Amino acid sequence: MAKNRDDEKMTREEAGQKGGEQTAKSHDKDFYEKIGQKGGEKTADTHDKDFYEKNGEKGGEKTADTHDEDFYEEIGEKGGEKTADTHDKDFYREIGRKGGKA
């Protein structure tokens, strides 16, 4: 591991990486799900709609830069199948009615 030349101590980045590696060795998926849930709840408590809109836009732009048309076709098909599995004819009538008014 590289050392900081001034005093031969680890940098903050190196210490963080080492700690993360140790944590990964001693914790399972459930641990990460729980801390992720806590972090998401804390973020929701401290950020507004604008924060999520900006993050979503950044993520969408990055995805568009790194994926092609086939990717969007595949996720659209999966989403359509999931929606069809979880909704009835009344759902489609309602969204069709709303779309007809637009």
Please report, to the nearest 10 degrees, the dihedral formed by the alpha carbons of residues 64, 68, 72, 75 taken in order.
-110
| Stretch 93-101: mean pLDDT | 91
Instruction: Tell me what pLDDT residue 77 has.
Output: 97
Instruction: Tell me what pLDDT residue 8 has.
Output: 78
Task: Mark out the alpha helices in the chain (DSSP H runs).
Answer: 12-26, 29-46, 49-66, 69-86, 89-101
Instruction: Tell me what pLDDT residue 4 has.
Output: 53
Instruction: Give 100's pLDDT tier (boundaries 50, 70, 90).
Output: confident
Q: What average pLDDT does the structure give for the chain? A: 93
5-48: pLDDT as tens digits:
556 789 999 999 999 999 999 999 999 999 999 999 999 999 99
